[in-house]
Amino acid sequence: MTAPSLEDFLLLSVDLTAFEETDLLGTGMAEGYLEKVRAACGDGIVAALLDAHRAARADAAAENGNQTRTPLEGEAFDRALRHRVFSDDRLGPVARNIIKLWYAGMWYALPPEWIDRYGAHAAVGTSTVTAASYQEGLLWRAIGANPPGAKAPGYGSWARPPRIADRYLKGARR
Amino acid sequence: MTVSTIENRDDLIRYLEAALALEHATLPPYLTAYYSIRSTTNSDAAHIIRVAAVEEMLHLTLVANVLNAVGGRPDLTRPGFVPSYPAYLPDGEDDFTVDLRPFSPEAVETFCKIERPGKAPSADERLLSAPADRAPLLVSSPTAEGMRFYSIGEFYEEITEGLEKVAADDPALFRGDPARQVGPEYFYSGGGTMIVVTDLDSARRALQFIAAQGEGLDSGIYDAEGELAHYYRFRQLQLGRYYQEGDEPGTPTGPPLSISWDDVHNVKVSAKLADYPPGSELARVAREFNADYGALLALLTQAFDGRPALLQDAVCDMFRLRDGFNRLICNPLPGHDGLHAAPTFEIEPAAGSDQPAARDAGEPTRAVTP
């Protein structure tokens, strides 16, 4: 079996997190996160997850007519992703964990029933990835704040409202 | 003694405007090397470069204070204010280019050349004729065409002498509104005390402080405050050892420095937007960085043009730029054999210096009303 590629992992991660590839690479954590997922779940499950993601994109593309944009938006892709990935007993918990990994910089232990069924790997428990992963968590950018204790934002900046990119507001009231 | 190239207030203002551009021009090279260092590695080197960069920001502000004191108007948005890298600086022997490089022996070599103590053998040799094919020179004379300076220290020496001469001829030289001065209340953690400039004495102190902190002109490896000049700070990276009091310039005897040249994102040297894949997400992010940087220069211009309190906002923008700088540098540049991306500092000229670029020229971000 060929090792899961970083490119495929990034493509999956863009759809799971709604952050762009440059943002994900910009954390400097992408390789480390892929290693973490492989160590926790094994290459077989990672490869199956990437296959399911590819299939979900193909389903949505067929339904929408050759839509290749990333992240794929719209109902068809949402449905395909839920069908192929999130509702799958084996792949769903892993995909949800990858979202948490990017947002919190932390690998959370998979549910005990998942481990009983699909096998325990050495790195399966809750752990941080590196000292940098906390401050690189996407959640801080998603809420327009700095990680407490890191990436100092400048004196007095806390008196101002958070700055959030338009694309994440989706028309919400400002 | 050569004829002074500063005859009047207009000449002086042109020199100070050149000094403003010169101080800024050192920042992109220092910042590129600094942010290329992988996080949590090379703390000795990162600290040395960071201190130098922060002090250049202090120098920039001090020059703005002197310029404002004599009735000038600092403008960081004028076309050409940010040089196109690689840019030339004179060092008195051979010309060399200043590139935007990752942290590397080559980068440190350039930093040493920028900050080299350059006392011309005699005042007659302070100004040299600039080779016709070498442009643009950062430390060239703004009033004597085709002439460049032996060193940055000599450039400031010329300004100080010119300042004294013009002040003697013009009792009203220091006519600037004191409210335009950036005082210590607007400037924090910035590598030294801000000097408010209102007269010849304070102007002289500001200029001498800049020259001493950069190159140790006339003041040895430590300045009067016991602070190591930039040149010797960078020499520590070449010699692998810290200086301590009493050391000779060539032989630091302090503790060894730990440097790991490999713990660096190997960014493309002096990358240009043209190196980015056209239409790519990465190219857009690089353009957005430049736009944000241009907006920062516009905001600094407002701060230096009568609204010093805006400096606090500008500092917050600098921290955001830091995060954008880091994100860009973590991205590989497609088609460049594993070299990484880095800001290109190709700044679009603002619509007009009185119409600073919009604050959020890059990706639209909105403040969320609480």
- DSSP per residue, B242-298: ---TT-BTTB--SPBP---TTSB--BPTT--GGGSPTT-HHHHHHHHHHHHHHHHHH
Which ipTM was obtained for this model? 0.90
> Does a structural domain hold residue A107?
yes
Residue A160: its pLDDT value, please?
Answer: 84
Q: Decide if pLDDT at B90 tops 60.
A: no
- pTM (two decimals): 0.89
pLDDT per position as a tens digit, B229-257: 888 999 999 999 999 988 888 889 999 99
Residue B348: its pLDDT value, please?
Answer: 84
Residues of B with CB below 8 A from A21's CB? 281
Bridge partners, A128 (sequence order): A106
Mean pLDDT calculated for residue range B212-229: 72
Number of domains in chain A: 1
Residues of chain A with pLDDT under 70: 1, 66-73, 173-174
Question: Residue B40's closest chain A neighbor by CA?
Answer: A132
Residue B341: its pLDDT value, please?
Answer: 98
> Both tokens of residue A32?
């480390």
From the CA of B285, how many Å to the nearest CA of chain A?
Answer: 8
Residue B279 contacts A, CB cutoff 8 Å: no
Q: Do A26 and B318 touch (CB under 8 A)?
A: no
Residues of A with CB below 8 A from B318's CB? 154
> Does a structural domain hold residue A174?
no
Residue A68 contacts B, CB cutoff 8 Å: no
Residue B185 contacts A, CB cutoff 8 Å: no
Domain range for residue A151? 6-169
Contact A104, A114 (CB under 8 A): no
From the CA of A132, how many Å to the nearest CA of chain B?
Answer: 8
Q: Which long-range contacts (CB under 8 A, 24 or more apart) does B131-137 make?
A: B131/B95, B134/B88, B134/B95, B135/B88, B136/B80, B136/B83, B136/B84, B136/B87, B136/B88, B137/B88, B137/B89, B137/B90
Residue B316 contacts A, CB cutoff 8 Å: yes
Maximum Cα interatomic distance, chain A, rounded to a whole number of Å: 53
CATH number of B9-269: 1.20.1260.10
Among A25, A131, A155, select the one facing B330 at the smallest CB separation.
A25
